[in-house]
Structure 1
């Protein structure tokens, strides 16, 4: 997965749905990169809770998840 930071001032994240997510399945994840932070949320609950990770922690997670 390649992260693109959102354009503009970073106050409104641009969310990207995982290529493994479907519109009717339970595994719907979206990711947004803003300066210094990667946010993750459930795409079916866009106003619900979000997880926030530092860029280094997210990179480490991706490296381990893709092994």
Structure 2
């Protein structure tokens, strides 16, 4: 993919509004924080959220 097709943000930066007619994948690099704007702004614009976990009890409980 061409480099201009990527958008890279800091954990505390908010994603810009992406129109509904554009398909996009937000890869949050395994980061999680209740206060990070990148995560909350990506989730608000998402129809589906995938959360990969290890098949371990502590991961499933988290």
Q: What TM-score do you get using the length of structure 1 for normalisation?
A: 0.24
Which has the larger share of strand?
Answer: 1
Structure number with greater CO (CA < 8 Å, separation at least 6) is: 2
Which has the larger share of helix?
Answer: 2
